């Protein structure tokens, strides 16, 4: 029971993405429906259970823990959890504690997160145009996010911007967003829209797809791009812009399968473990967690789930059809 987690393809599992809530104060068009029905609070893992389950993964070799949602910072008393996880940073068992956020609440929590040992945050931001931002997030305000970025940098957090590439929406902002990120010493990663959610197959959703090979080609018209060999433990491939020294990432689940080095699993706020973002197979960890006060059953369930981790996802794309589409919303699994 002391051996580190290893999947059937000899890939060590060292990265857990943990959703702490399905709730969000935005309703981004590519992530969830505008009129979402959220889970009853009683179905969610408590903060104490989140601590137990995270600590079990750390004991089994997870070294990177990314907190997601929904929007993780709308979870009541979530700082209690971050402060609890700092003990694993102090012991050296956990190498990194970080989060992905929409930035709306970051002005309130940035310093406390830094005090708990968070050193980096990913902020989802698809446009610098306030009107377009309100349209794509439905409920969001750009000025709140920009205030959050200011607070994060003031607290000493390293900020990376994640932007979903949306055809006909933010194409014209490719260079302005690059220049803006560079002026603030922030890395920028572009993400292809993923085939998730019940409405992905509609003409509107299919029409959003902007392949990153096209985005990269446009970027190369302005900058000299040098491919980088580095990996961040995630699916991004990086280039350096020689003129500015910036690092730009590309996450391409549809045009490039990034599964060969996958070292991560995702746990939902209800205790469902998804061994692959692009597969429906999942394992219930809440039942063994609640069945016993010790963690033997939980660790057995984790190992059994990792033994079922597939080689890769089935996402595929063409203009007419989408293969491997997931009907669950991205907010359910965690960003």
Q: Which residues are annotated as a binding site for S-adenosyl-L-methionine?
A: 30, 70, 124, 194
Please state the residue numbers annotated as binding site. 17, 24, 28, 30-31, 66, 70, 100, 124, 160, 194, 259, 262, 264-266, 276
Host H or E run for residue 18 = strand 15-19
List, as one string, the DSSP characters of 67-98. Answer: EESS-GGGSTTHHHHHHHHHHHHHHTS-SEEE
Nearest to 329 by CA among 50, 40, 19: 19
Nearest to 123 by CA among 149, 153, 96, 97: 149
Nearest to 43 by CA among 282, 208, 269, 206: 269
CA 246 to CA 278: how far, in whole Å? 30
- What tokens were used for 135? 């349209």
**Up-side HSE of residue 150: CA atoms within 13 Å toward CB?**
8
Would you say the C-alpha torsion 114, 116, 119, 121 has a positive or negative sign? negative
3-state class of 200 per DSSP?
coil
Please state the residue numbers annotated as binding site for GTP. 17, 66, 100, 160, 264-266
Please state the residue numbers annotated as binding site for [4Fe-4S] cluster. 24, 28, 31, 259, 262, 276
Nearest to 45 by CA among 37, 33, 53: 53
Q: What are phi and psi of 72, to 5 degrees?
A: -60, -30
Residue 202, judged by CB atoms within 10 A of its CB (0-12, 13-18, 19+), counts as: exposed
């Amino acid at each position: 029971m002391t051996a580190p987690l290893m999947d059937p393809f000899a890939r060590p599992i060292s990265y857990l993405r943990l959703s702490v809530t399905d709730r969000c104060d935005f309703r981004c068009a590519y992530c969830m429906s505008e009129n979402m029905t959220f889970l009853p609070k009683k179905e969610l893992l408590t903060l104490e259970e989140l601590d137990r389950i995270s600590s079990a993964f750390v004991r089994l070799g997870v070294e990177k823990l990314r907190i997601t949602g929904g929007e993780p910072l709308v979870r009541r008393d979530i700082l209690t959890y971050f402060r609890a996880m700092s003990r694993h940073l102090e012991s050296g068992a956990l190498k990194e504690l970080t989060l992905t956020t929409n930035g709306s609440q970051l002005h309130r929590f940035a310093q406390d997160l830094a005090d708990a040992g968070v050193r980096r945050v990913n902020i989802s931001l698809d446009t610098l145009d306030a009107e377009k931002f309100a349209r794509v997030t439905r409920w969001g305000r750009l000025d709140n996010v920009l205030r959050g970025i200011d607070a994060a940098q003031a607290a000493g957090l390293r900020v990376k911007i994640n932007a979903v590439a949306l055809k006909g929406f933010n194409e014209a902002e490719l260079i302005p967003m690059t220049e803006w990120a560079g002026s603030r010493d922030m890395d920028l990663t572009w993400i292809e829209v993923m085939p998730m959610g019940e409405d992905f197959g509609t003409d509107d959703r299919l029409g959003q797809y902007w392949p990153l090979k096209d985005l990269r080609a446009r970027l190369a018209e302005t900058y000299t791009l040098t491919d980088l060999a580095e990996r961040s433990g995630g699916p991004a491939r990086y280039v350096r812009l020689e003129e500015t020294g910036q690092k730009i990432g590309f996450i391409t689940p549809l045009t490039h399968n990034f599964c060969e080095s996958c070292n991560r699993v995702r746990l939902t706020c209800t205790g469902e473990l998804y061994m692959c973002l692009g597969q429906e197979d999942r394992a219930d960890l809440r039942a063994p967690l609640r069945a016993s006060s010790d963690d033997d059953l939980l660790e057995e369930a984790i190992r059994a789930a990792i033994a079922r981790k597939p080689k890769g996802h089935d996402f595929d794309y063409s203009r007419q059809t989408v293969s491997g589409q997931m009907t669950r919303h991205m907010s359910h699994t965690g960003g």
